[in-house]
Structure 1
């Protein structure tokens, strides 16, 4: 059976779960992408993904990738494809177009150019002209534009697979079905069900979680009730193969009912959403299997028929408005008390956009997963329900040392307007570029000396230390105003804002912990997955200003040997590896950052035998003659301005020592290789002698994206080559 390439989309944050699920259908991973995965497999595996995936949105059968730097180039690329092989003679199609670039700024325009190319291609081949049908077309064409390339494919799912067909009525703020399935998998429900456990959602709303839990435990295919998939009128469709898979799904559902069926219960204090849940249960064919009723969290009690083990999983209110937040601590505390009293020995999962209220549950969380509910950042908190894990419930809002408040409305209005302006300009630019981590504000106004960075919906606020001439009380007053304005303008929960004071660090201070939350989460950057922590260190694990440098490395690393000195958390090494570097060596003195770099590489499925991270004093390594035999084609060196760490043999002063470091790097650089040298010392001056020994070009301006162009001194960067290379 021939092999095909598929692109399968999913909710943001679910990519790795999806890759594992697809592997079970016989699809092998090519690479991860933001909100999706690229895979390879036969048509049967693609059919299985449509019928059985609990996590996917759409399954795209990839046809081609064409140049699309202009509208004409896009059209020419489309018209060259053999569309008569994919659209039935005289049939209908529609085009879904995503993305934009400088030439194609409107998705409707992009879709029209694709339609024109398809129609002209088919007519040019002498076949009947196809028609365009927005509703129920024979074939749905997927066109996804990323910068100057357009991916073309057939949407063989035909509709978003999160729609199982049972949910036509919705409660307030319902979870999508595939996100509910992802939560169940992360919470360990398949294993708990296999071991005889039961399932309860004490705030079930319209019943999505409890229904998905039942479908999963009863081995019922999510697409079982789907009337038509997108491949059924595609000319390459194999009906007999598809019929066999449908029959297999029916057999599996029948066999599962012969085994023990877990108890499935859902409760909600709103009788109206319980009525909706009953309708959804009936449409899902789960009458007599899933039970729901109107009951508050405080009234939660254990039924005698429930097993000794099980899962409680719920999606409580987030309290996005300040008035709602006042009630949350009590609600989360009641949830924890009821569960601890009612089902000790079970597991509790809480999916929330206000994860700080996990402290109010009164249990110690053993695992946290960063996900998104639509565009809203959220977190799945997992707890083992035991007396040993009990802790004193806390109201996070009552614990704040600095309460957000506006003292001077006129002054706060200035900040509000500036942030709105930046959201419109920088935020819009970031979305168009597919950038989800960026600097929104950098002390634009002297009254508010803070840097505001966005990390995929989380907000990192750094307060620059005020000069001694500024009264400390006045500085705190302005910071409190900023913390009041930021959630309002950015439409984020106050719990998703982390605030720190930024001061000059030296020696071992740069490695010292600021907190011990252990709250890491993953972000995407140009197809790479990177782990960040906004709370525990002064820096987050990702220097946002070096984003263009990392991207350049990724685009130019193919076939090269890469050396990353003072590698920090290894982000540049990840980009090099993803970009096709044959091997890499990353060195840093901090064991914390070495471990972090290794984890970042592992997240991107990089071969650890070819891409190595070692704990080393870079000064000593460069001075060591035994390492000079190692050759690299691309070296990145971004040292600290000053370091006198006890782990170092010497003291690093970048102004004094940079020429020596550069020369030592050049000894290890291949004849036609490149050294990228960067640092963030504001008063730095490059040793003029280096220009007589090597080809030196300052590239600082090209290494600053729009979000850092207001502060061009954030870093400086040079490309250094051997002369006549």
Structure 2
């Protein structure tokens, strides 16, 4: 066999430039870049070294033969012509991978089958012994690449992909591959920083991939040192003595590296479910002395072991796949930017993201950007020097001013407190220390305009809300067409719903405006970003608006008209409290004394709780959802109401049809459409209104009142109803000032017998 071989090193798209530098450093000659690959010449020792030491390659392919190929017969005979007895035994196992198309082969499975047939036919013995296929752990893994009429037949020396180091048996939802993580570290300058004794922190470490790859680089550990099964292990051309020599050298280097004082490498992860898997991965890599993982939010991670330590903050924040997801992550990126500015001065930072626009919202400039691919997703690596002149903030204090403030704060902290006494000899309680200055990212022109509108609305509506004792109200409802949001205050929480932009609007412009608005909300409303919940409202059908979107299960108690109610701001599109129906609920509370109250399509039964508060003789609430009836039960319990309050699960139309009770006060607020599996047919409020109201009016006691409301904007009340009942539209009386700009939020009628 030849002493020199042609090698192909495959890699993720975008890593070719880094891989060629690495491969040349490991001995590859005549190296050239290809798409997702590097090609060159090497001896067997270099081939082994590339397998052992490449942090970036996926596979090391040793080319056995190149030949022209016009059709499947050329493929078969070209592979058959190889001396396969020099490479594997007749009773061995193999797997074949085929890539490319053309020359009459458009199906990779067919191409792989022809390659396998040729190898098997070449090695079949007179007694019928022949190789078999093993796709998981074959003796040889053969690869054939078809490129513009040329077949390149190779032996895969790697076996399993080199990115599988063996330490990461547990991973999170969207992990980076190990070789991509290593590439990001190299591009971020970590080898230089580590050589200088620098530290590394990952504030969103997941299961610790960046941490382990960084420690292996710093400790000079070959990334595949612990791998036991290779693609060359059963290859007849394998030179075990040469391999053992290289492996022993790598082992000695690792032992020497681990004997050095460990660098400070720390990871922080908000999700408690990932802490132990991350620590397990670190332990499997043998790096527990170098790496520590803690649970903590982005805004609380502390990267500096001491004031003089410098290093690299690196992270791969989530970036979402939909615009709505990205919007909800804006504050995460802002928190990261704030933490870098506050705690990481003079450090370097590297943020790997598939949403560069979010990266721009951190309030700190990147001095360099690199393009990468995470699978099929284009991404950017933002490199940042955490220096004051890179900050994009609302305050433009100089570096000298910042340093003076830091020194003053430190001096104040070091001084023992001075006890003071009043004229009676009693100690005076010291004033609280001033809060540290937290610089906020400067708003764009559009963001500032939006903030001004929010502050104006808050000033006007805040006075009304305080006067009326309203704690939950809408402060903004698409007042400005460019910023199509609904923003509601729930005490000290902010609930934001983004209306989907029309298809005529440029998605990039819509996204930029959304980010401007979201950046303005905490500043304009003076709330912490952690108390802003963001959702996207699109055109809904059926019961989609009532479906669970999250599973945090976090309920907040709010007050309205003397009753306490539970809202859930995170798990559903709606919160459990329709704010626009506040006047209707208050009307019901005032009229309910001594009456039998019926609430159809009751949702979380907030109107029923108001009726109970108003002294209703009894309440009956009907809904198809067990989830919302359980929520309703909690609302009743929260107010101490238990007796005389019935909760009925069922299809409203069927329930009314079988009901024989009478009620003095009825409230109906149906969905526009409903097609639940638990009901017969599909409910359509426009089509089914007459049947619904006739059934409900049949249950209305003499002298009783029925209130009917819905939020279908195109709804028209059937004219025939006015001929049978006394009908009065009361929409204007059921809309408070916070919904005055949106008079079509709902329509409401008062209906009674003639």
Q: TM-score range by the shorter chain?
A: 0.5 to 0.7
Is the partner of 1:319 in helix, strand or coil?
A: coil
Is 1:341 aligned to 2:315, yes or no?
no
Residue of structure 2 equivalent to 1:275: 276
Structure 2: how far apart are the matches of 1:139 and 1:382?
42
Residue of structure 2 equivalent to 1:375: 376
Structure 1: how far apart are the matches of 2:307 and 2:287?
18
Rg (Cα) greater in structure: 2
Instruction: Go from structure 1 to structure 2 and tell me whether the alpha carbon gap of 1:91 and 1:400 turns closer, same or farther (over 3 Å shift).
Output: farther
Q: What are the residue-to-residue correspondences of 1:634-673 with 2, within 5 Å? A: none
Cα distance, 1:128 vs. partner?
5.3
Q: Could you tell me whether the CA contact under 8 Å between 2:206 and 2:278 is conserved in 1?
A: yes
Cα distance, 1:65 vs. partner?
1.6
Residue of structure 2 equivalent to 1:96: 97
Structure 1: how far apart are the matches of 2:444 and 2:90?
63
User: Deviations for 1:521-559, whole angstroms, at most 9, x for unmatched residues?
Assistant: xxxxxxxxxxxxxxxxxxxxxxxxxxxxxxxxxxxxxxx
- Out of 263-272 and 23-32, give the one that drifted further: 23-32
Cα distance, 1:99 vs. partner?
1.8
Is 1:131 aligned to 2:132, yes or no?
yes
Q: Could you tell me whether the CA contact under 8 Å between 1:88 and 1:233 is conserved in 2?
A: no
Residue of structure 2 equivalent to 1:9: 10
Instruction: Go from structure 1 to structure 2 and tell me whether the alpha carbon gap of 1:270 and 1:278 turns closer, same or farther (over 3 Å shift).
Output: same
Is the partner of 1:7 in helix, strand or coil?
A: strand
Instruction: Go from structure 1 to structure 2 and tell me whether the alpha carbon gap of 1:213 and 1:306 turns closer, same or farther (over 3 Å shift).
Output: farther
Instruction: Go from structure 1 to structure 2 and tell me whether the alpha carbon gap of 1:264 and 1:10 turns closer, same or farther (over 3 Å shift).
Output: same
How many positions carry a matched residue from both structures?
414
Cα distance, 1:327 vs. partner?
2.4
Structure 2: how far apart are the matches of 1:299 and 1:167?
26
Q: Could you tell me whether the CA contact under 8 Å between 2:304 and 2:344 is conserved in 1?
A: no
Residue of structure 2 equivalent to 1:172: 173
Structure 1: how far apart are the matches of 2:55 and 2:338?
32
Q: Could you tell me whether the CA contact under 8 Å between 1:172 and 1:205 is conserved in 2?
A: no
Is the partner of 1:480 in helix, strand or coil?
A: coil
User: Deviations for 1:607-641, whole angstroms, at most 9, x for unmatched residues?
Assistant: xxxxxxxxxxxxxxxxxxxxxxxxxxxxxxxxxxx
Residue of structure 1 equivalent to 2:249: 248
Structure 1: how far apart are the matches of 2:507 and 2:347?
42
Q: What are the residue-to-residue correspondences of 1:57-206 with 2, within 5 Å? A: 57-101=58-102, 103-123=104-124, 129-206=130-207
Is the partner of 1:140 in helix, strand or coil?
A: strand
Residue of structure 1 equivalent to 2:352: 351
What is the CA RMSD across the aligned residues, in angstroms? 2.7
Cα distance, 1:307 vs. partner?
5.4
Q: Could you tell me whether the CA contact under 8 Å between 2:326 and 2:358 is conserved in 1?
A: no
User: Deviations for 1:240-285, whole angstroms, at most 9, x for unmatched residues?
Assistant: 0001111111100111123232111000111111221111111111
User: Deviations for 1:67-87, whole angstroms, at most 9, x for unmatched residues?
Assistant: 233111211211112211112
User: Deviations for 1:6-47, whole angstroms, at most 9, x for unmatched residues?
Assistant: 000011100010011111211124321111100111111110
Instruction: Go from structure 1 to structure 2 and tell me whether the alpha carbon gap of 1:335 and 1:477 turns closer, same or farther (over 3 Å shift).
Output: closer
User: Deviations for 1:645-677, whole angstroms, at most 9, x for unmatched residues?
Assistant: xxxxxxxxxxxxxxxxxxxxxxxxxxxxxxxxx
Cα distance, 1:217 vs. partner?
0.5
Structure 2: how far apart are the matches of 1:382 and 1:22?
24
Q: Which runs of 5+ in 2 are unaligned?
A: 394-440, 450-500, 516-754
Residue of structure 2 equivalent to 1:53: 54
Structure 2: how far apart are the matches of 1:400 and 1:139?
64
Q: Could you tell me whether the CA contact under 8 Å between 2:100 and 2:108 is conserved in 1?
A: yes
Cα distance, 1:308 vs. partner?
2.3
Structure 2: how far apart are the matches of 1:306 and 1:42?
49
Q: What are the residue-to-residue correspondences of 1:560-639 with 2, within 5 Å? A: none
Is the partner of 1:224 in helix, strand or coil?
A: coil
Structure 2: how far apart are the matches of 1:313 and 1:135?
35
- Out of 78-87 and 369-378, give the one that drifted further: 78-87
Structure 2: how far apart are the matches of 1:396 and 1:150?
56
Q: Could you tell me whether the CA contact under 8 Å between 2:24 and 2:31 is conserved in 1?
A: no
Structure 2: how far apart are the matches of 1:3 and 1:201?
42
Structure 2: how far apart are the matches of 1:246 and 1:225?
10
Please, what TM-score do these two structures have when normalized by structure 2? 0.52
Structure 2: how far apart are the matches of 1:270 and 1:396?
32
Is the partner of 1:348 in helix, strand or coil?
A: strand
Cα distance, 1:395 vs. partner?
7.7
Q: Could you tell me whether the CA contact under 8 Å between 1:266 and 1:292 is conserved in 2?
A: yes
Instruction: Go from structure 1 to structure 2 and tell me whether the alpha carbon gap of 1:121 and 1:199 turns closer, same or farther (over 3 Å shift).
Output: same
Instruction: Go from structure 1 to structure 2 and tell me whether the alpha carbon gap of 1:312 and 1:398 turns closer, same or farther (over 3 Å shift).
Output: farther
Residue of structure 2 equivalent to 1:480: 505
Residue of structure 1 equivalent to 2:28: 27
Structure 2: how far apart are the matches of 1:76 and 1:316?
51
Structure 1: how far apart are the matches of 2:169 and 2:448?
42
Is the partner of 2:169 in helix, strand or coil?
A: coil
Residue of structure 1 equivalent to 2:210: 209
Q: Could you tell me whether the CA contact under 8 Å between 2:304 and 2:310 is conserved in 1?
A: no
User: Deviations for 1:342-377, whole angstroms, at most 9, x for unmatched residues?
Assistant: 121110000000011222111111110000111100
Residue of structure 2 equivalent to 1:312: 313
Residue of structure 2 equivalent to 1:389: 390
Q: Which runs of 5+ in 1 are unaligned?
A: 402-475, 488-493, 496-725
Is the partner of 1:113 in helix, strand or coil?
A: helix
User: Deviations for 1:389-417, whole angstroms, at most 9, x for unmatched residues?
Assistant: 1113368997799xxxxxxxxxxxxxxxx
User: Deviations for 1:580-628, whole angstroms, at most 9, x for unmatched residues?
Assistant: xxxxxxxxxxxxxxxxxxxxxxxxxxxxxxxxxxxxxxxxxxxxxxxxx
Cα distance, 1:147 vs. partner?
3.3
User: Deviations for 1:124-177, whole angstroms, at most 9, x for unmatched residues?
Assistant: 999953222223211110111223222101000111000000111111200000
Structure 2: how far apart are the matches of 1:367 and 1:483?
23
Structure 1: how far apart are the matches of 2:217 and 2:70?
44
Q: Could you tell me whether the CA contact under 8 Å between 2:10 and 2:58 is conserved in 1?
A: yes
Cα distance, 1:197 vs. partner?
0.3
Residue of structure 2 equivalent to 1:291: 292
Q: Could you tell me whether the CA contact under 8 Å between 2:201 and 2:266 is conserved in 1?
A: yes
Cα distance, 1:235 vs. partner?
0.9
Cα distance, 1:291 vs. partner?
0.3
Structure 2: how far apart are the matches of 1:203 and 1:397?
31
Structure 2: how far apart are the matches of 1:78 and 1:177?
34
Q: Could you tell me whether the CA contact under 8 Å between 1:82 and 1:122 is conserved in 2?
A: no
Residue of structure 2 equivalent to 1:18: 19
Is the partner of 2:94 in helix, strand or coil?
A: strand
Q: Could you tell me whether the CA contact under 8 Å between 1:308 and 1:345 is conserved in 2?
A: no
Structure 2: how far apart are the matches of 1:239 and 1:248?
14
Q: Could you tell me whether the CA contact under 8 Å between 2:211 and 2:291 is conserved in 1?
A: yes
Cα distance, 1:484 vs. partner?
9.8
Please, what TM-score do these two structures have when normalized by structure 1? 0.54
Is the partner of 1:320 in helix, strand or coil?
A: coil
Residue of structure 1 equivalent to 2:332: 331
Instruction: Go from structure 1 to structure 2 and tell me whether the alpha carbon gap of 1:146 and 1:124 turns closer, same or farther (over 3 Å shift).
Output: farther
Is the partner of 2:39 in helix, strand or coil?
A: strand
Instruction: Go from structure 1 to structure 2 and tell me whether the alpha carbon gap of 1:329 and 1:100 turns closer, same or farther (over 3 Å shift).
Output: same
Cα distance, 1:483 vs. partner?
6.8
Cα distance, 1:190 vs. partner?
0.2
Structure 1: how far apart are the matches of 2:506 and 2:248?
63
Cα distance, 1:225 vs. partner?
1.2
